[in-house]
């Protein structure tokens, strides 16, 4: 779809050195240039002002647990140091922020936003972060195309009191000025607490039954997919890498195939075994059809695939994704769940702080601060070592109070 839009844009945009003009069959003499197809003044000229929430520091607060806000990213810009939202450079971002009242599950969507360039849905990119400065943000969730159209949607677990920074930008194929823009409708729905993941029992590739309870106490990436689904296949390497990297620390990917039965009676064992072998799938694959459609309904009805649920060690749905994701997106979602209860021991040894924690697949930095209220943490220059069971570091102590934390690299 986006390649088609790009071809439309390239065909209908005339670069006149002063802006970008969307063409219609009209002639207009403008600033000494004969322009074909000009339908309005180019963005950003003649003193047109940017939106009030163009910059991070001027973000608009969203208040409540069921909120709909409207805005625009026409004439908006991208700030120095601002991240690429959902992996796209964008160029016309605007900002909101929202403070979570409790632990829960929130859905943020731009459905209903309208492009002033194409007249259809605004092709948004959506990013949600924590952090106090635009150049120092930690991504919580991001999305390009949501489940309905070119607008975006994210779902994620919240922490009580945490302020979430929300960026909405337009998708760009090239330079910032080409980013899509228009009217934005931003909706936020919060549900306190976390929904429990429905239980299931399904056949595996070898014909045995496996149940969701077999993965109790693990972080589970439950991926609804099918062999005929291109975006599903595209993200399989990321899921394989995720399983290989973090299975030792308590993660498992489960591929729940929605492939139809080849004989109308039995699950498609041969099809799935052949596919799994050819792609080197290293995680469990279970089959929903032809007899277990109810699993799809238990998870809200799977209208689009791939759809993926991130389930924490307590069997709560912590986050969900619709559409193909890359490795870094999945990794960002699972790491806080994998290491949520990582035990760190602190002891005083010869005037130094001796910090130790179990060896994990993830790497951690030790950071320190003398003032918790400042929010400023400094990475220790001490070398992290390992005895094969625990990672540890020894940090010389000064005369003042110090606080330490682990920061995942």
Nearest Cα residue to 6 out of 149, 169, 178, 181: 178
- Residue 121 is classified by DSSP as B
- 3 state DSSP class of 244: helix
Share of the chain above pLDDT 90, in %: 51
Dihedral angle over CA of 397, 402, 406, 409, nearest 10:
-80
Convert the pLDDT of each residue in 72-106 to its tens digit. Answer: 999 999 999 999 999 899 999 999 999 999 989 89
Topology of 56-192 in CATH?
Jelly Rolls (2.60.120)
Interval 20-24 mean pLDDT: 29
Instruction: Give the per-residue pLDDT at 292.
Output: 59
Torsion of CA 265, 270, 273, 278, to 10 degrees: -140
- What CATH number does the domain located at 201-338 have? 3.40.30.10
Q: What mean pLDDT is reported for the chain?
A: 84
Taking residue 145's Cβ as centre, other Cβ atoms within 10 Å add up to: 23
> What does the pLDDT read at residue 82?
95
Express each pLDDT in 140-180 by its tens digit. Answer: 989 888 778 889 998 888 989 999 999 999 999 888 888 99
When comparing pLDDT for 47 and 128, which is higher? 128
Q: Is the pLDDT of residue 326 over 80?
A: yes
User: What does the pLDDT read at residue 21?
Assistant: 30
Q: Measure Cα distances from 67 to 12, 109, 181, 270 in Å.
A: 36, 11, 22, 48
Percent of the chain residues past pLDDT 70, beyond the cut: 88
To the question of pTM greater than 0.75 for the whole model, the response is: no
């Amino acid at each position: 779809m986006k390649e088609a839009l790009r071809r439309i844009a390239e065909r209908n945009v005339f670069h006149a050195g002063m802006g970008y003009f969307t063409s219609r069959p009209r002639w207009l003499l403008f600033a000494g240039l004969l322009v074909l197809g000009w339908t309005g003044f180019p963005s950003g000229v003649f003193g047109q002002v940017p939106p009030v929430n163009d910059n991070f520091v001027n973000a608009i607060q969203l208040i409540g647990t069921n909120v709909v806000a409207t805005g625009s990213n026409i004439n908006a810009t991208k700030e120095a140091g601002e991240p690429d939202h959902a992996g796209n450079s964008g160029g016309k971002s605007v900002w909101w922020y929202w403070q979570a009242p409790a632990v829960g599950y929130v859905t943020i969507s731009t459905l209903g936003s309208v492009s002033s360039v194409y007249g259809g849905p605004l092709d948004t990119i959506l990013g949600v972060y924590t952090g106090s400065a635009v150049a120092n943000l930690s991504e919580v969730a991001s999305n390009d195309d949501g489940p309905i159209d070119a607008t975006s949607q994210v779902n994620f677990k919240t922490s009580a009191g945490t302020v979430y920074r929300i960026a909405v930008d337009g998708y760009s194929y090239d330079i910032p000025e080409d980013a899509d823009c228009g009217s934005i409708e931003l909706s936020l729905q919060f549900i306190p607490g976390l929904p429990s993941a429905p239980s299931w029992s399904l056949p595996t590739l070898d014909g045995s039954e496996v149940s969701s309870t077999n993965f109790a106490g693990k972080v589970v990436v439950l991926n609804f997919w099918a062999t005929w689904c291109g975006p599903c296949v595209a993200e399989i390497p990321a899921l394989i890498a995720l399983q290989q990297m973090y299975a030792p620390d308590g993660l498992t990917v489960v591929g729940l195939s929605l492939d139809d039965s080849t004989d109308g009676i039995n699950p498609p064992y041969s099809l799935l075994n052949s596919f799994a072998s050819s792609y080197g799938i290293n995680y469990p694959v279970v089959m929903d059809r032809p007899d277990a459609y109810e699993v799809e309904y238990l998870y809200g009805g799977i209208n689009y695939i791939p759809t993926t649920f991130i389930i924490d060690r307590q069997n709560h749905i912590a986050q969900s994704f619709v559409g193909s994701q890359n490795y870094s997106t999945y990794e960002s979602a699972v790491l806080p769940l994998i290491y949520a209860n990582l035990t760190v021991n602190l002891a005083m040894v010869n005037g130094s702080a001796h910090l130790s924690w179990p060896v994990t697949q993830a790497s951690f930095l030790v950071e320190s601060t003398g003032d918790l209220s400042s929010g400023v943490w400094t990475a220790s220059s001490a070398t992290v070592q390992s005895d094969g069971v625990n990672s540890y570091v020894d940090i010389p102590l000064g005369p003042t109070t110090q606080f330490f934390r682990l920061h995942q690299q």
